Amino acid sequence: MSIKTLILRSLKKNLTNYYLYVFALVFSSALYFSFVTLRYDSSMNKVQASVKGEAGFSAASILLLVIVSVFLLYANQLFMKRRSKEIGLYQLVGMTKFKVFRLLSIESMLIYFGSLTIGVILGFFSSRLIVMLLFKITNVQAVATLHFSPEALLQTLLVFLVIFVLMLLVNYFFMKRQSILSLFRVVSTTEASVKKQSVLELIIGIAGLCLIILGYYLSSRLFSTDTVATNALLGMMVAILASVIIGTYFFYKGSISFLFNLIRKKKNGFLSVQSVLSLSTLMFRMKANSFLLTVITTISALAIGLLSLSYISYYSAEKASEQFVPNDFTFSHKKDLASYEKTLSDHGIPFEEHRIKVLSVPADLSDVSDRPLIFASSNSKYTPISVISTKSINEPPLKKNEMYLTGANDSFLRLTNFKESGTITFKLKKESLKRTFTELKHHYVVSIKYSNGSLPVAVVDHATFQLLEKEGKPTQSIYNGLDIKDNTKLEAANDYFIHQFKPVASNNLSPRVASRIEDVKQQRGMIGLAMFIVGFLGLTFLITSGCILYFKQMGESEEEQPNYTVLRKLGFTRDDLLKGIMFKQLFNFGIPLFLGLSHSYFAVKSGWFFFGVSLWTPTLIVMGIYTMLYSIFAILSTLYYKKIINDSL
Amino acid sequence: MFILEAKNIRKSYGSKLNKQEVIKGLDLQLEAGEFVSIMGASGSGKTTLLNVLSSIDSINSGTIMIEGKEVSAMKEKQLAQFRKHHLGFIFQEYHLLDTLTVKENIMLPLTVTKVPRNEAEARFKSMTEELGIYELKDKYPNEISGGQKQRTSAARAFIHNPSMIFADEPTGALDSKSASDLLQKLTDLNRSRQTTIAMVTHDPVAASYCSRVIFIKDGQLYTQLYKGTQTQQAFFQDVMKTQAVLGGVPNEY
Ligand SMILES: Nc1ncnc2c1ncn2[C@@H]1O[C@H](COP(=O)(O)OP(=O)(O)OP(=O)(O)O)[C@@H](O)[C@H]1O
Ligand SMILES: [Mg+2]
């Protein structure tokens, strides 16, 4: 047989077996190419001009490259191991090592560059789609036009060429190291052999579970104990990461087999065929693959966590904007307000003005928070707090000696352990004034810029307000807000606003005037780009790790085929076996997924309040999508097993 | 009453163009409680015969009845069901699952029956004690010897009290001491439980443990020998002679 027919033959065989590998290759090259195209394209300036995403983009493209190359190298290694018998066979029939190497190289070159070509073509077309998506999430109004970029093509080709050369090198050394005999044995030595459980394993197993729980526990206290006050935050974070990651590793190394062994012991030899196919093999497999699984779990957790956080911010943009712009528009200067009001009147748009006088009164807050350190100035017992009158916001008068607080955000409340009710003592020039509050509202009445730090604003009845103003001689300022009465006219009002204030509104650090619509847009744009990049990376990671698990399952199923033969001879039906396999896949994909979800849940939960105001909806959406995409690989694996089972008798 | 009755069975492999007929119209009857061995030259179709008799493989024509049921007409699911409950298997390469302990391997056929736990436990104990492997129950297959594996596989074949056991060269991978041990055990079990055993073997010594030896040639029944009241030694000589006539490779002792 000539080398050409050999290549063609094994190519044909491998293409049917490795369609997923080809898919992954096409996918990752398409992704990379479109990402680079995006970077080089001029239409990106529209996004970046407002957001400065260049740094993010280049960091992301490097990360993308790392993920893709690790994946390709790893997959290549898996295939070499799987094909070691074939390689040994070629050598056995008298081919030289170099000739076999050449054979394999030509074959993989055909697959690799074939997929790359398809990937680049797909990447070019999909980049337009991606740009459209990016424009949509970042609120850029522009038509997505993309030009073919030779630089992007060159960069993609170069990068993938380097990866290919690396692959060849790895293959070369793999073959050089191996004797023919060891090539025949490779498969069996890679998986840990079946052994009895040792005491050490038991200890590792228990330690793994404990470490994970410890990490979770620490994470729940990360921002709520004295850590914040004592600057132990960084140390604590490192401790959490370490204990969770090591715990995960131990979990795969020992806990799984420990738990499964407990179940097995309980069954006392009476294992149904379902548990034979799931429990008994999984406990050995997971142990053998514990490192890989740890990496996959950790990065999944990272991806889900980051995606959730960025989606939380994106999702909360509107709410977050309320803190800075509580009304439709705000104005620092009265003359801006007046001129805008004139514009509105000229165009017949009804509006409502909110002018609120804000006092800054020193107050003793020791009763409402046990951690005043965070907001109090160090040398004084008194912290300035903003005070407004019920009258200025058109609310009915309060009972004497009572007040309420409003405008509290979650991160502030958690950091300071702020109480829901309590007493605040205002310091006047001569005496002091005690007021109790029974309510802590989240709603913002004046912009957060008018309160001290993130402290809520005290709302007192008008008599108290006047007293404070008169006796305390506090610093005062006036908040100017404006609401459009008719929501359908808001859009138009906003257009006039932009038109009128374009020169002054551009300074977004301390804007003289602000529009809520514009503020939300801006926030969305900023977070949207971050979310887009994280999503891009997360998706790549999801697909590559799913592929790796699938490839592992391919190998496993072939290794276990003799077992299926036995079981079918003994009279177990295909359906019996398939049920067992489904169970196995449930664990096989489910455990890393579940651990990843649970890790990321605790990570998100420990600090989400810095990112937004809503935890559940965005997190659940992200987790749901991740789980769905991930399950596709479990289903594909099960289908592969089905084929193997059918062929086993 | 025959426990197994095969009439005019035919089996061929390969495609329409390149057909190879392995079993060519073979008739066979086994009586309940018999211990029969099947001999023949390599490639004569012994394994194939055993596979079709035990419903692991299908036949092209003819009928096979086991316990009065026509196995050859059953659908795949029914067959599996039938195998699970009524047949036991011992294979040359043991066919134990390497991720299961000895006990779990043996108990496997019982998990689909309605045998209560303590009854199963008792059966397991008596069976493994009879075969001398009770102490090994918590070991994995890769921790025990070939003979012990084969006994484990025998225990698995017997545990659910099947009406028939099929064994394909069960002693092929064993030394003569372990082989005769196992054969003695099989004979004992055959007597004590009245289980019918059909065993393929190349070894005349193994065949001499049986009550009847069937010789296969060219896909057909060539001849058969009954032990009757002979001693094992005399029966062994008979088998040797027939095998020499048949043209198989005679064992030199
Ligand atoms: N699955 C198969 N596909 C095609 N041909 C087969 C298959 N199994 C067996 N054969 C052919 O059928 C014939 C009989 O094979 P079988 O395995 O039954 O022989 P055997 O008597 O068991 O031999 P041995 O003593 O070597 O085990 C052989 O010629 C073999 O090539
Ligand atoms: Mg055979």
Q: Is B51 in the pocket of ligand 1 (CB under 6 A)?
A: no
Q: B208 pLDDT band (50/70/90 cuts)?
A: very high
**CB neighbour list of residue B29: distance below 8 Å, 6 or more residues apart:** B2, B4, B5, B6
Asked if A194 lies within 8 A of B111 by C-beta distance, the reply is no
Asked if A573 lies within 8 A of B76 by C-beta distance, the reply is yes
Q: Which of A195, A271, A649 is the closest to B56 by Cβ? A: A649
Say yes or no to pLDDT of B66 above 70: yes
The helix (run of H) or strand (run of E) holding residue B199 is strand B196-200
Closest-CA residue to A359 (of A387, A401, A324): A387
Instruction: Report helix, strand or coil for A356.
Output: strand
Q: Minimal Cα–Cα distance from A279 to chain B, Å?
A: 9
Q: How far apart are CA B26 and CA B8, in angstroms?
A: 5
| Mean pLDDT across A130-159 | 80
Q: A580 pLDDT band (50/70/90 cuts)?
A: very high
Interval A483-541: pLDDT, tens: 888 888 888 888 888 888 876 655 555 577 888 888 888 888 878 888 888 888 888 88
> What is the 8-class DSSP label of residue B196?
E
Q: Minimal Cα–Cα distance from A82 to chain B, Å?
A: 20
| Radius of gyration of chain B measured on its C-alpha atoms | 18
Asked whether A580 and A276 are in contact (CB, 8 A), the reply is yes
Ligand nearest to the CA of B23: 1
Tell me, what's the pLDDT at A416? 75
Cβ contacts of B57-63, under 8 Å, gap ≥ 24: B57/B11, B59/B9, B59/B10, B59/B11, B59/B23, B60/B10, B60/B11, B60/B12, B61/B8, B61/B9, B61/B10, B62/B6, B62/B7, B62/B8, B62/B9, B62/B10, B62/B25, B62/B26, B63/B5, B63/B6, B63/B7, B63/B8, B63/B9
Percent of chain A past pLDDT 70, that is, above it, reads 89
| Mean pLDDT across A428-447 | 83
Q: A192 pLDDT band (50/70/90 cuts)?
A: very low
Tell me, what's the pLDDT at B103? 92
Interval between CA A454 and ligand 2 midpoint (Å)? 84
Q: Minimal Cα–Cα distance from A551 to chain B, Å?
A: 21
Q: Give the mutation candidate from B56, B102, B104 for the A interface (greatest A CB count, under 10 A).
A: B104
Q: Is B46 in the pocket of ligand 1 (CB under 6 A)?
A: yes
Tell me, what's the pLDDT at A193? 55
In b/e form, how buried is each residue of A362-382, taking b as 16+ CB within 10 angstroms?
Answer: bbbbbebbebbeebbeeeeeb
List the domains of chain B with CATH numbers: 34-59+75-246 (3.40.50.300)
Tokens found for residue A480: 């100017």
The helix (run of H) or strand (run of E) holding residue A440 is strand A432-441
Minimum CA–CA partner of B111 in chain A: A272
B117 inside 8 A of chain A by CB? yes
For atom 9 of ligand 1, the residue with the nearest CA is B48
Instruction: Report helix, strand or coil for B90.
Output: strand
Interval between CA B169 and ligand 2 midpoint (Å)? 7
Asked whether A426 and A302 are in contact (CB, 8 A), the reply is no
Ligand nearest to the CA of B40: 1
Residue with more model confidence, A548 or A416: A548
Q: How far apart are CA A200 and CA A206, in angstroms?
A: 10
Asked if B84 lies within 8 A of A571 by C-beta distance, the reply is yes
ipTM of the complex: 0.89
Q: Minimal Cα–Cα distance from A575 to chain B, Å?
A: 9
For atom 24 of ligand 1, the residue with the nearest CA is B42
CA A501 → CA A351, A355, A496, distances in Å?
Answer: 18, 20, 8
Residue with more model confidence, B87 or A375: B87
- pTM for this prediction: 0.83
Atom of ligand 1 nearest to the CA of B200: 22
Say yes or no to pLDDT of B249 above 60: no
Minimum CA–CA partner of B90 in chain A: A570
Range among A29-43, A457-471, A494-508 rated most confident: A457-471
A288 inside 8 A of chain B by CB? no
